[in-house]
Structure 1
C-alpha cells in the first residue's frame, strides 16, 4: 500500500476529491506544495505544506498528484517524473503532442508511472453506454455528438477563468472530460478540428454571465477578469472519417446540468443523458435510448452519488498500485487527447486576440 502522496496545488479538487477518497482507500500521509501559502507552518492537517519541490525529501514520496493551474500541469509533472516519482496529472494534462511525448519520454527514462485523471470514463452511466456502443464495433461509428451544459453560472476561480492560468475556458474545463469519453468510444484516433465557435462573458443563449454558486467564493473574483470562453461549439473529423461535434457551456439559466452523448453508426443510434462530476442538479431521468437494427430501446439508469466516478477512479488507481498499464492508460491515448486540445487552444488564442 502506498502511504506517501504529495499534491501540487491546494484547490477544491485536492481538498474535496483526492484527499477524502485517498483517505478512504487507506492512504494516510500527505504533503502539499503550495507556493502561495502565507505561512506553511500554519496550514492545517492532514497536510504537511512546503512552498517548493526542493523542500521535499523525494525518496519519501511514492506518488505526486498535479492539481496546479492548467498552464503549469506539464511543467510540474515533468519535474516529478524526472526525479523518479510516479505522477497523476489532473485534466487537462497538456496542450500539445510534443508535451505529451515529452511526458512519456520522461516517464520511460525514469521508470516513473505517468497517469492522467480521467474520472468521466469511470462514470457508471458512461461505462454502461460504452458497453452498448462497443457491442456494435468502433469501425461502424459514423458520428459522435457530445455536450456538457453546466448551469448556474461561471466558476469563480481565476484558475479556470483567466487565460494565463486556465489557457481556455469551458472548452477545456468541461471539454477535456468529453474528449476523454469521445476518444474512448473511438479507440483514441487523431482528430482534426474543422470548426470552432467560442462565446465570451455570456451564456450560449445570450443571457448575462454570473458567477456560480457551486464553485468557490463569488467575492474572490471579478467578471472583468474572465478572459476565456464560457461556451464553445467545436467540430472534429477523425483520421478514420468519423464526424465529432462537441458543445460546452458554463450557462447561467438552464433548468439543470446535463451531459449528452450520442453515437450513430451502421444500423444503430444510441443516446446517453446523464451528468458528470460533483453536480447534484442533473436530469430527473438519466437514461439511454436508441434504435438498434430497427428496434427501439430505452431504459433509465440507476441513481449515482455526486463524485462517484472520481471515487471509482481513485480506488482503481490505488488497487492497481498506481500502475498505468493496469488501468489501461498509455501515451497513445494522451497523444490523441493532447492533439485535440492543442487545436482547441490554438483556435481559442486566435479568437481571444480578435475579441480583446
Structure 2
C-alpha cells in the first residue's frame, strides 16, 4: 500500500528535493501540500493536480499517512507539534528543532498523539558515508574524528530567512553543522560532550559576492544577516574521544566545495574526501583512504548521482514507519544534536535566542 503523503512547505527544498522523489517513488502518493503562500499553492496544484492548503489545521489526519515538513527552520517544531498531536506520523527535515526545549515539546507531542516523529538528515544515507562508518569498526578504539564541510561560495539566501537568526535559529552550524553531527552519530554512535570550545565568524554572510548562486534563490530584499557563516569547534566526550568540527558557507581556503571526514583510531585512520549536498562546484568523485602502520590504501566507493541519499532516505522512511519501536528514537537523536549545537554557540558566546519575532504559519 502506498503511503499517502502531505508535503508541508513548497519552497526550494519541497519543490526541488522532495516532490520529485516522492512522485517518482512507487511507495508514496502525494495527496496534498500546505503553504501559506497562494502562489506556491497554485504552483503545487499545477504540477500535481492535487489540492494545497494554507494551514496544517485544515488537514484531516485520516486523509494521510505521513506529513513531510519542509518549511523554514523556526516553524519545524510548531508545525510538527500540531501534526503529531493529531496522531499523524511526521517527518521533519533537519534541523528538527532549534533548542532542547523544543525537543522536549516534540517528545511530549509524540507521546500524546501516538504517531511517530521521524527526523531528516540525509547525509548519513550517502554510500561513501556508509562505507566510512563500516570502516570505523576496523580502526580499533576511536580517538579523534574531524568533521569539515567548507563551501568556496555558498551563502544561502532563501528570501532572507536562512540568514536570520529569528527564522533559522542560527547560521551554518544549524545548516551544515547539523548534517555533520548526525554523520558523527552514524560513525561513533550516540555521544555526549563534557568539554566544548568554539568560535564563530561572519566575514562573508552580508556580501552578495559569496551567495550560493546554484540554489537559484530569489535575492533577499536587503543584506542584514545576523548569523555566522563559519563555525570552528572542538569537543571532548567523557571517555576521551575528541571531535573537531569546521563548517563554512564561504571561505578563501578552498576553490570548490569540500566535505572531509577523518577518523583516527588506535588501529588505523580513515579519511573520506567528498562533497555533500547539491552544489555543482564539487569534488570530482568521493575518495576514501585508510592508513595503517604508515601504509595507505584506497577503498572503492560506488559512484552515485547527486541527491541519491534523499531517495535512499525515503526508502528507509517506509521501514521506520512500519517499526513500532520508532517512536522516541528520532527525537532523542535530535535532542542530542541540538544540545551539542547549543553548547557550541554558548562556548563561542553567540546569542542563542532569536533577535526578532517569528510566526507560526507554514511558510517556506
TM over 0.5: yes
Question: Which residue of the partner structure matches residue 235 of structure 1?
Answer: 234
Q: After the TM superposition, which of the residue ranges 278-287 and 147-156 deviates more from structure 2?
A: 278-287
RMSD of the alignment, in Å?
2.8
What is aligned with 1:163?
A: 165
Residues 324 and 94 (structure 1 numbering): CA distance in 2 closer, same or farther, change over 3 Å? Answer: farther
Residue 224 of structure 1: aligned partner: 223
CA, structure 1 residues 85+282, in 2 after alignment: closer, same or farther (shift >3 Å)? Answer: same
- Residue 127 of structure 1 is matched in structure 2 by 130
Instruction: Give SS of 1:279's match.
Output: coil
**CA displacement 1:62-118 (0-9 Å, x = unmatched):** 111111111121111111111100001100111333332332232233220111012
- Equivalent residues of 1:179, 1:337 under 8 A apart: yes
Name the CA distance, whole Å, in 2 between partners of 1:223 and 1:217. Answer: 14
Distance 2:342 2:2 in 1: 34
Summarize the alignment of residues 164-179 of structure 1 with structure 2, pairs less than 5 Å apart: 164-179=166-181
Q: Which residue of 2 aligns with 1:342?
A: 342
Query: Residue 28 of structure 1: SS of its match in structure 2?
Result: strand
* Residues in 2 aligned to 1:65 and 1:122: alpha-carbon distance in whole angstroms: 18
- Aligned CA distance change for structure 1 residues 102 and 200 (closer, same or farther; 3 Å): same
Q: Rate the CA distance shift 1:307–1:271 in 2: closer, same or farther, 3 A.
A: same
User: Residue 280 of structure 1 aligns with which residue?
Assistant: 280
Give the match's secondary structure for 1:174: helix
Q: Give the SS at the match of 2:150.
A: strand
Q: Relative contact order, CA 8 A, sep 6+: which one is greater?
A: 2
- Is 1:193–1:234's contact at 8 Å kept on the other side of the alignment? no
Q: 1:174-189 residue pairs with structure 2 within 5 A?
A: 174-189=176-191
- Kept in 2, the 8 Å contact 1:209–1:251? The answer is no
Deviates more, 1:116-125 or 1:62-71: 62-71
The 1:223/1:142 distance shift into structure 2, 3 A limit, reads: farther
Change (3 A) 1:252 1:30: farther
| Alignment-derived partner of residue 77 in structure 1 | 80
Q: Matched residues in 1 for 2:334 and 2:202: separation?
A: 28
Distance 1:103 1:143 in 2: 32
Following superposition, the deviation at residue 153 of structure 1 comes to: 3.1
**Residue 59 of structure 2: which of 26, 39, 56 is its match?**
56
Cα distance change, pair 309–212 in 1 and its aligned pair in 2 (3 A): same
Matched position secondary structure for 1:225: coil
User: Is residue 113 from structure 1 mapped to residue 119 from structure 2 by the alignment?
Assistant: no
Structure 1 residues 144, 127: closer, same or farther in 2, change over 3 A?
same
Aligned to 1:100: 103
8 Å CA contact 2:8, 2:70 repeated in 1: yes
Residues 268 and 291, structure 1, Cα contact 8 Å, conserved in 2 = yes
Deviation at 1:337, TM superposition (A): 1.3
Asked if the contact 1:123–1:309 (Cα under 8 Å) also holds between the matched residues in 2, the reply is: yes
Q: For the structure 1 residues 258 and 339, does the alpha-carbon distance in structure 2 shift closer, same or farther, using more than 3 Å as the test?
A: same
Q: What's the CA shift for 1:128?
A: 0.5
TM-score (structure 1 length as normaliser): 0.88
Q: Tell me, what secondary structure is at the counterpart of 2:148?
A: strand
1:283 Cα offset (Å): 1.6
2:202 paired residue number: 200
1:211 matched to 2:201? The reply is no
- Offset at residue 252 of structure 1 (A): 5.8
- The count of aligned residue pairs is 348
Indicate the SS of the match to 2:244.
Answer: strand
For structure 2, the residue ranges without an aligned partner over 5 or more in a row are: 354-364
- Secondary structure of the 2:47 match is coil
CA distance in 1, matches of 2:68, 2:51: 15
Aligned counterpart, 1:149: 150
Query: 8 Å contact 1:81–1:87 — kept in the other structure?
Result: yes
Query: Where does structure 1 lack aligned partners over 5 or more consecutive residues?
Result: none
Alpha-carbon contact 1:123-1:308 (below 8 Å) kept: yes
Give the structure 1 partner of residue 256 of structure 2. 256
Pick closer, same or farther for the CA change 1:192–1:68 going to 2, 3 Å: farther
